[in-house]
């Protein structure tokens, strides 16, 4: 290696190591995972990681997944790894994207598992082919069983429990939890956690994120049908805006809290229309897996010892929203 090349490698790792140290600390401080078996994946030759395919369940252009993509792209650029990001809200299509990546001989795979059963065969084919896999966002409990070397995300039930406790502390008594994606296990876990943390009366409402007008109408109808609802928890930043609008249309005095950030959520918190947002810091869900795959590929390192690396929950409210607003506009929060 030339002196210049050595300096370049050292420079890259100096930029990456603070992030990786954060990942290790988060893993050490996180609670127990549903499965704590240490991964034993050892197939594939040791060497440099050249390419990673990131396959998520989000829709193209979604504000949340754009931040994940930004994190993955940034890590790839810093480490000299080609990152190919693809997404589909259809589990069958997502499985096909994974199969295509395996067929192309990608060096590493990052997958979100909103529907673990649908993706399990494809992920296991990748593992059998010697391709290291890191799961992100959804499917924490199934990550070890599909053969992934690690999971990066937020424990959805714990995050929901934290949200429920905050709403109860704000003096709320009846909660409406809005589920926006049928079949997404993470949505159900969030509402289950919120019900546990809230302690009061909780009902759920199913809407379709792909039909925002109908989602707003359904939330409005639920509020008009039950005037005792004084809190609404949405599980997506786009649905949060619809809930705020529905409250205005229905004349309800309920207040909204939400999972995830975007510029509208930031503005609503500043205006007092949203109590708080649960931020799972999804930029890390894109960034950290690329680092983990690079370390695994070059040095057989794994992170967490079978437990997930937790990226949240972090809470954004009127006290800290000003500091976060600029980062949201930059696409990193």
Q: Which CATH number characterizes residue 118's domain?
A: 3.40.50.2300
Average pLDDT over residues 1-30: 44
My answer on whether 263 and 121 are in the same domain is no
* 36 assigned to some structural domain: yes
Q: How high does pLDDT run on average in the chain?
A: 88
Strands 274-279 and 314-316: antiparallel
pLDDT digits (tens, 9 = 90+) for 93-123: 999 999 999 999 999 999 999 999 999 999 9
Average pLDDT over residues 152-163: 96
Provide the residue range defining the domain that includes 175: 156-279
My answer on whether 109 and 178 are in the same domain is no
What percentage of the chain exceeds 70 in pLDDT?
86
Residue 59: per-residue pLDDT: 72
* 138 assigned to some structural domain: yes
* 331 assigned to some structural domain: no
My answer on whether 246 and 233 are in the same domain is yes
Whether the predicted model's global pTM rises above the 0.85 cut: no
Instruction: Give the pLDDT band of residue 182 (cuts 50, 70, 90).
Output: confident
My answer on whether 70 and 86 are in the same domain is yes
My answer on whether 121 and 14 are in the same domain is yes
* 325 assigned to some structural domain: no
CA pair distance 106, 100, nearest whole angstrom? 9
Residue 269 has which token pair?
A: 């918190």
My answer on whether 166 and 105 are in the same domain is no
My answer on whether 304 and 237 are in the same domain is no
* 332 assigned to some structural domain: no
User: Does residue 30 or residue 187 have the better pLDDT?
Assistant: 187
CA pair distance 254, 240, nearest whole angstrom? 13
Residue 42 clears pLDDT 70, i.e. is over it: no
Helices (H), the chain: 3-29, 63-79, 91-103, 116-128, 156-169, 185-198, 212-225, 237-250, 263-270, 282-299, 321-330
My answer on whether 163 and 26 are in the same domain is no
Residue 6 clears pLDDT 60, i.e. is over it: no
My answer on whether 169 and 96 are in the same domain is no
Instruction: Say if residue 46 is exposed, middle or buried (CB neighbours under 10 Å; 0-12, 13-18, 19+).
Output: exposed
Average pLDDT over residues 309-327: 96
My answer on whether 7 and 131 are in the same domain is yes
Q: Is the peptide bond before 71 cis (omega within 30 degrees of 0)?
A: no
Number of structural domains found in the chain:
2
* 320 assigned to some structural domain: no
Residue 184: per-residue pLDDT: 85
* 322 assigned to some structural domain: no
Of 259, 279, 299, the residue at which a domain comes to its end is 279
My answer on whether 149 and 131 are in the same domain is yes
Residue 274 clears pLDDT 50, i.e. is over it: yes
pLDDT digits (tens, 9 = 90+) for 59-90: 767 889 999 999 999 999 999 999 999 999 89
My answer on whether 166 and 290 are in the same domain is no
């Amino acid at each position: 290696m030339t002196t210049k090349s050595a300096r370049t490698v050292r420079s890259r790792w100096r930029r990456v190591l603070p992030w990786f140290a954060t990942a290790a600390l988060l893993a050490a401080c996180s609670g127990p995972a549903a499965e704590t078996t240490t991964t034993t994946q050892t197939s594939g030759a040791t060497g440099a990681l050249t390419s990673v395919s990131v396959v998520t369940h989000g829709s193209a252009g979604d504000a949340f997944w754009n931040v994940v993509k930004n994190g993955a792209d940034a890590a790839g650029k810093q480490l000299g790894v080609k990152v190919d990001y693809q997404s589909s809200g259809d589990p069958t299509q997502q499985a096909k994207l994974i199969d295509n990546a395996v067929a192309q001989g990608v060096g590493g795979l990052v997958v979100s598992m909103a529907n673990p059963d649908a993706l399990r065969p494809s992920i296991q084919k990748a593992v059998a082919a010697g391709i290291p896999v890191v799961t992100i966002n959804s499917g924490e409990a199934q990550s070890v069983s599909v053969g992934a070397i690690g999971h990066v995300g937020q424990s959805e039930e714990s995050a929901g429990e934290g949200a429920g406790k905050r709403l109860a502390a704000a003096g709320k008594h009846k909660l409406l939890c809005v589920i926006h994606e049928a079949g997404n296990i993470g949505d159900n876990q969030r509402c289950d956690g919120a019900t546990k943390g809230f302690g009061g009366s909780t009902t759920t409402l199913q809407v379709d994120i792909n039909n925002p007008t109908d989602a707003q109408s359904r939330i409005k109808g639920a509020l008009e049908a039950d005037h005792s609802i004084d809190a609404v928890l949405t599980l997506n930043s786009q649905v949060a805006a619809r809930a705020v609008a529905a409250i205005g249309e229905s004349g309800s005095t309920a207040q909204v809290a939400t999972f995830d950030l975007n510029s509208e959520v930031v503005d609503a918190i500043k205006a007092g229309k949203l109590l708080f947002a649960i931020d799972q810091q999804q930029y890390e869900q894109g960034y950290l897996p690329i680092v983990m795959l690079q370390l695994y590929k070059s040095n057989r390192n794994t992170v967490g010892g079978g437990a997930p690396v937790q990226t949240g929950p972090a809470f954004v409210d009127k006290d800290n929203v000003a500091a976060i607003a600029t980062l949201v506009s930059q696409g990193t929060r």
